[in-house]
Structures are given as C-alpha cells and as structure tokens.
Amino acid sequence: MKIPYSEFNIRECTEGNLDAVLELQEETIARLPSEDLLRRNSPQMFLSCFRPPHLSIGAWYGEELAAICILYVPEDNAEDLAHLLDGIECAGMRTANYKLCIVREKYRGNGLQYHLGELIENEARKQGIALMCTTVSPDNPHSIRNMLSLGYRYNRTLEKYGYSRNLYYKFL
Ligand SMILES: CC(C)(COP(=O)(O)OP(=O)(O)OC[C@H]1O[C@@H](n2cnc3c(N)ncnc32)[C@H](O)[C@@H]1OP(=O)(O)O)[C@@H](O)C(=O)NCCC(=O)NCCS
C-alpha cells in the first residue's frame, strides 16, 4: 500500500503500546520466509527499549501500528555491537545500536525503515553518540539496502544469537 510518509503519525512508543508492538512482531515473524531473519524480542526487552536512554519510535497509520524502530544504548560490552567491529578505532566513543526495525507487510515500500532510521540517528546525536552499529541477516536484502542507503558500512559477517549476521557501522 503506497502511502506518503506525511500521512503516518510518528511518535515515541510507551508502555501502553506494548501489546501493539508484540502483535506487530508476531505477525511479522509468522510471515517471514525464514525465522532466522528476525530474532524475537521479549516483552521485558521492549519495555526497557521504551525507556531512556533507549528510544522506540512507532509509525501509526490511523489506529494501526505500521512500523517500529529502536535505538538501543548499551550499558555494557555484552550488548554493544561496536566491540565486535574489526579494525575500527572507537575507543572512548559513545556508541549505540540500531537494534530493530519492523514494518508491517502491508505498509512496506514506503521507506519507513529509512525514515525511522534517520529519526533514531537524530536522537543518538542529541545523546552525544558518535558511532552506531547494527546487524542484519545476509539473507535480508531489503534491510541491507536500507542500511547502506542510511550510510552504514559493512564490517564483517559473524555468528550472533546462533544466526549468521552482517555487522554494519556508521559514524554520526
Ligand atoms: C526490512 C523492512 C523493515 C523494510 O521495510 P520498508 O522500509 O517498508 O522497505 P522499503 O520501503 O525500503 O521497500 C523498498 C521495496 O522493497 C520491497 N520490500 C521491502 N521489504 C520487503 C520484504 N520483506 N519482502 C519483499 N519485498 C520487500 C518493498 O515492497 C518495496 O518494493 P517497491 O519498490 O516495488 O514498492 C521490512 O521488510 C521488514 O519489516 N521485514 C521484516 C523484519 C526485518 O527483517 N527487519 C530488519 C531487521 S531488524
């Protein structure tokens, strides 16, 4: 369904949106060509992503949640993708992850991953974050294309969460 970006209502997700986010995640996973493409996030993880310093931005079309995109600001190395980069100097920099973007199938093709990606980068800049990282399945050409369009660079392919993942980074 082609919809101008201006017709989506863009706002921060809060606890009251948890059920809508979980429903979007389950609908998306049920329709994936392979479950390897998207790791399921728990309700607790989403709730933490709704609170600062993280930011979860939703795009609504009418009453329906069309998409969500999450900025995750890791507190330790375990969650910080920057520590997995090969050959990139980032000592002392504040870093964050482009954690997740899901666009409901019927709203795909409206550039929502790209537009919401720009919004979470703006928030990251406000927080003084200098380096963003993300992982994408090598079998996810749509997401890879959007991350490259946003200016992310490929670093390496690794095993993460038991799946093969391409690691990307972007200096803000
Ligand atoms: C990856 C994803 C977020 C991209 O959604 P999007 O921002 O709406 O995609 P775009 O606007 O860039 O789409 C560009 C084109 O690719 C197509 N496209 C996008 N995602 C597609 C998909 N998963 N399968 C088939 N075609 C897809 C669109 O229909 C559009 O085609 P068109 O130009 O002929 O209209 C979306 O496919 C998705 O939510 N996938 C499942 C979850 C996921 O993989 N998330 C990324 C990892 S975190």
Please report the pLDDT score of residue 156 as a whole number: 98
CA 34 / ligand 1 centre spacing (Å): 15
Please report the pLDDT score of residue 24 as a whole number: 98
Mutational test site, ligand 1, from 27, 57, 140, 142, max ligand atoms within 8 Å of CB = 142
Structure tokens at 164: 């093969």
Please report the pLDDT score of residue 161 as a whole number: 78
| Cα 132 from Cα 137, distance rounded (Å) | 17
Domains of the chain listed by start with CATH number: 5-171 (3.40.630.30)
Please report the pLDDT score of residue 76 as a whole number: 83
Please report the pLDDT score of residue 47 as a whole number: 98
Residues, the chain: 172
Atom of ligand 1 nearest to the CA of 110: 11
Whether ligand 1 lies within 6 angstroms of the CB of 25 is answered as no
Atom of ligand 1 nearest to the CA of 113: 7
Please report the pLDDT score of residue 31 as a whole number: 95
Mutational test site, ligand 1, from 26, 29, 103, max ligand atoms within 8 Å of CB = 103
CA 81 / ligand 1 centre spacing (Å): 23
Q: How would you write the pLDDT of the chain (172 residues) with one tens digit per residue?
A: 899 999 999 999 999 999 999 999 999 999 999 888 999 999 999 999 999 999 999 999 999 999 999 999 998 888 999 999 999 999 999 999 999 999 999 999 999 999 999 999 999 999 999 999 999 999 999 999 999 999 999 999 999 878 999 999 999 9
Atom of ligand 1 nearest to the CA of 32: 41
Please report the pLDDT score of residue 35 as a whole number: 84
Please report the pLDDT score of residue 130 as a whole number: 97
CA 3 / ligand 1 centre spacing (Å): 14
What DSSP character marks residue 49? Answer: H
Which residue's C-alpha comes closest to atom 27 of ligand 1?
142
Counting Cα atoms < 13 Å in the Cβ hemisphere of 60 gives 12
Q: Which residues have CB under 8 Å from 6's CB, separation 6+?
A: none
Q: Is residue 135 a contact partner of residue 165, using CB atoms and an 8 Å limit?
A: yes
What DSSP character marks residue 33? Answer: S
